[in-house]
């Protein structure tokens, strides 16, 4: 984790020196609360063992790009993408709301040379760090269980960064519009259906018409489709669309969050 934090801090500080300060602050905050930090990793892992491995003994598997894939190997990439989502959303929603509305951390931050855009970039870098720690551990578990069948899987970890980038950017932008804890009910209203229906446990072909189109434009589905193709080695042009989609979502989210921080903190 120390290695990842230092790499993320260097990457951010190379262009925006102030942003790395927030990454280091969050590392220090969680240094004595590492158990809390890792809780988001546990849930997708439990789903993998209970549904992927347990139910997998009763289900033969599904076809991915014309190739039959065992059920556990089908579910595992979905849980990998969900792990990236979990890591990205925890701090980009609940964490930022608390620091922005309750603890007034950012008011103190702006007493330094940091700018609102540095806050957005720093918090996004931290969310990516947390997300990448979760997915790195999960990918190791997948490999140990024999749920990776292609060398393309080495790109699955960088692919999860795109998932984290997209969801952290969107989560951070939306959080700046929230005014109370009750607003987080809308977050759950979006996250739970995405988790259950974004081809995590069964193929998207189970849906038809408009419903299938709705599922296919959700960020988690694009992430699941991308990492599943990489871990199974069945690559299609859909992977390119997923990369462009996730990058665009993250960039737009970061831009909106930066503007919103500026409006809320400098008014």
CA distance 127 to 26: 10
Q: Is 265 exposed, middle or buried (0-12, 13-18, 19+ CB in 10 A)?
A: middle
* E strand intervals along the chain: 62-64, 67-69
Q: Which residue has the tokens 């984790």?
A: 1
Using alpha carbons, select from 111, 88, 76 the residue that is nearest to residue 231. Answer: 76
- CA dist 155 and 163 (Å) reads 13
Long-range contacts of 107-115 (CB under 8 A, 24+ apart): 107/265, 109/22, 110/265, 110/266, 112/18, 112/21, 113/18, 114/18, 114/21, 114/22, 115/18, 115/262
Dist. CA 86–CA 43, nearest whole Å: 9
Helix pair 71-89, 219-232: axis angle to 10 deg: 130
C-alpha 4/C-alpha 33 separation (Å) is: 17
CB 69 within 8 A of CB 232: yes
Question: In whole angstroms, what is the distance from residue 11 CA to residue 8 CA?
Answer: 5
Q: Which of 136, 140, 147, 194 is nearest to 53 (CA)?
A: 147
Global pTM value:
0.87
- Using CA atoms, how far apart are residues 63 and 65, in angstroms rounded to an integer? 6
Q: What pLDDT shows up at residue 2?
A: 43
Indicate the DSSP class of residue 130.
H
Q: Residue-wise pLDDT tens for the chain (267 aa)?
A: 444 444 444 444 444 456 788 888 888 887 877 776 666 677 787 888 888 777 777 777 777 777 788 888 899 999 999 999 988 998 899 999 999 988 888 888 888 888 889 999 999 999 999 899 889 988 988 888 888 888 898 999 999 999 999 999 999 999 999 999 989 999 888 999 999 999 899 888 888 889 999 999 999 999 999 999 999 888 888 899 999 999 999 999 999 999 999 999 887
């Amino acid at each position: 984790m120390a290695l990842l934090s230092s790499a993320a801090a260097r990457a951010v500080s190379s262009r925006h020196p102030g942003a790395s300060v927030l990454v280091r602050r969050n590392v220090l905050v969680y240094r004595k609360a590492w158990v809390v930090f890792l809780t988001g990793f546990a849930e997708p892992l439990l789903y993998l063992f209970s549904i992927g491995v347990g139910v997998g003994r009763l289900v033969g598997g599904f076809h991915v790009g014309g190739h039959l894939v065992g059920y556990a190997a089908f579910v595992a990439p979905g849980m990998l993408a969900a792990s990236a989502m979990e890591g990205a959303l925890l701090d980009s929603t609940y964490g930022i709301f608390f620091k922005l509305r309750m603890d007034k951390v950012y008011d103190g931050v702006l007493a330094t040379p940091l700018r609102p855009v540095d806050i957005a970039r720093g918090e996004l870098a931290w969310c990516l760090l947390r997300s990448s720690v979760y997915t790195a551990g999960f990918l190791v578990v997948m490999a140990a269980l024999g749920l990776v069948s292609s060398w393309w899987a080495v790109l699955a970890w960088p692919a999860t960064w795109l998932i984290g980038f997209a969801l952290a950017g969107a989560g951070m932008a939306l959080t700046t519009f929230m005014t109370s804890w009750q607003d987080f009910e809308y977050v759950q209203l979006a996250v739970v259906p995405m988790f259950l229906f974004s081809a995590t446990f069964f193929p998207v072909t189970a849906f038809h018409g408009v419903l299938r189109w709705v599922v296919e434009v959700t960020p988690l589905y694009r992430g699941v489709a991308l990492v599943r193709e990489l871990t199974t080695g069945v690559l299609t042009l859909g992977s390119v669309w997923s990369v462009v989609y996730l990058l665009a979502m993250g960039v737009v989210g970061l831009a909106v969050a930066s503007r919103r921080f500026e409006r809320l903190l400098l008014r």
